[in-house]
Amino acid sequence: MAYISLFGLLNNWSKFPDNIALNILLWMFFNSATEELDAYYPIRPECKADVPQTRFKARVGKTLSPRRWNAAFSQDGRLDIAGVLRRIQRGGIHPTIKGVVWEFLLGCFDPNSTLDERNDIRQRRREQYAAWKAECQKMVPVIASGKLITTAIITDDGRPLQDPSFDSNGLENSCATSNSGSLDQNIIQWKLSLPQIGLDVVRTDRTLVYYESEANQAKLWDVLAVYAWLDKDIGYVQGMNDICSPMVILLEDEADAFWCFERAMRRLRENFRCTTNSMGVQSQLGTLAQIIKAIDPKLHQRLEELDGGEYLFAIRMLMVLFRREFSFVDAMYLWEVMWAMEYNPNIYSLYGQSSDFISSSGYSNAQVKVSNKQLKQYGKFERNNLKSGWTDQRGALVVFLVASVLETKNKRLLKEAHGLDDVVQILSEITGNLDAKNALKEALKIHKKYLSKARFVLL
């Protein structure tokens, strides 16, 4: 298409029919937005050579734009989620509205709620988060100070350590005990995790200008610290920082970012459950093995021969949803399209009420009868699951995405891999070279193929 300048367009505006002129303007806007997409999340100049190139492009008629988003609400604020899902699945979300759209995709709000109802819920959640944060601050005063901790503040048995970042009052308050006078084990474990959270935060998305600010680092640290205190079953595990970071950047209010992260963790937290003998992500690795065995038995056999039958090389992709394989922008595009494809219109009610923190994982997609009209409110992936009767929650779309990556590397894995190191090396080459849109298309094809081959016992 020949280049059309804005000046030339305006000078010759009357020569164009209205619809053509409007389309040209929209094309120019989105083309310009594509070139400046990284400007929404600027990269530090010294790091530009080290980050993967962004492939996502905002496209007219495909990407969910602010105008389309606002038009999707009724007069009282109810959202046409079916239309929104279609647009996201076609072309992602424009950067200016990502945060507010993610809140719906992750189940923070019911699309059938009114604007007033959502405002009430948001206010209650913010108050609840403030109360939890104040509780944490009483135990560790550096919380909510705009600072963060990267060194130990207590010993393994709970005795306080002298640290220059605390004043004497902080040291006294940070050594919390139970009513009986003995140190509470939950508090000890939580305080021991705080320096690790701090170290991970300092390393999180450090190529972005956003995290040059210690205040922004502290915002991420505060959210993760409060979450770790509340989720006493699992606490904090490395990798949660990669999931939380985009939400902290997209949502200005820290409490809103916390609740968005909390909802995302309901899908993901079982992957982070670790014991001395097992990792929670192993259940998804097992599903991945079943998928490859069903659709590509030759590749599965080869991986088993290389002692890779447990698919441990895929842990990182599953736990942090391909954050390390894509640029920051492309990773967010991948996530939002996956969440749109997995969307269940009952997610809000299944997750519980507005301001409850529930240490539960995922939601049930037990077989239910839905009308064709209701089916449109489900994402493409979830809709296929409903039609087939598949209810296994271990088979999230990301598992099929990993399978699609393995399939793209099928020939090389069969011919060139002579050990697990070779497998890891071949798969590492996808970083910066993987097209998220194409990978998702292949993942859906594999999902369909797997459903046609697999035999499920419906309970």
Q: What is the pLDDT of residues 44-89, one digit of tens each?
A: 999 988 888 888 888 888 999 999 999 999 999 999 999 999 999 9
Is pLDDT at 11 greater than 70 in this prediction?
no
pLDDT in tens, 173-217: 444 433 434 568 999 999 999 999 999 999 999 999 999 999 999
Contact 93, 336 (CB under 8 A): yes
CA 339 to CA 70: how far, in whole Å?
Answer: 20
The listed range with the strongest mean pLDDT (30-39, 276-285, 442-451) is 442-451
As a whole number of angstroms, the distance between CA 133 and CA 136 comes to 5
Separation of alpha carbons 93 and 110, rounded Å: 19
Q: What would the pLDDT profile of 343-396 be if each residue is shown by its tens digit? A: 999 999 888 654 455 555 555 555 556 777 788 899 999 998 888 877 676 679
Query: pLDDT of 107-138, one tens digit each?
Result: 999 999 999 999 999 999 999 999 999 999 99
End-to-end Cα distance, the chain: 56
pLDDT digits (tens, 9 = 90+) for 302-356: 999 999 989 999 999 999 999 989 999 999 999 999 999 999 999 998 886 544 5
pTM for this model (two decimals): 0.86
Per the CB < 8 A criterion, the answer to whether 265 and 108 are in contact is no
Grade residue 279 by pLDDT with cuts at 50, 70 and 90. confident
Distances (CA, A) of 276 to 194, 223, 268, 273, 279: 21, 27, 20, 10, 8
Tell me the pLDDT of the chain averaged across its residues. Answer: 85
Beta bridge partners of 154: 160
DSSP 315-352: HHHHHTTTTTTS-HHHHHHHHHHHHHHT--TTHHHHH-
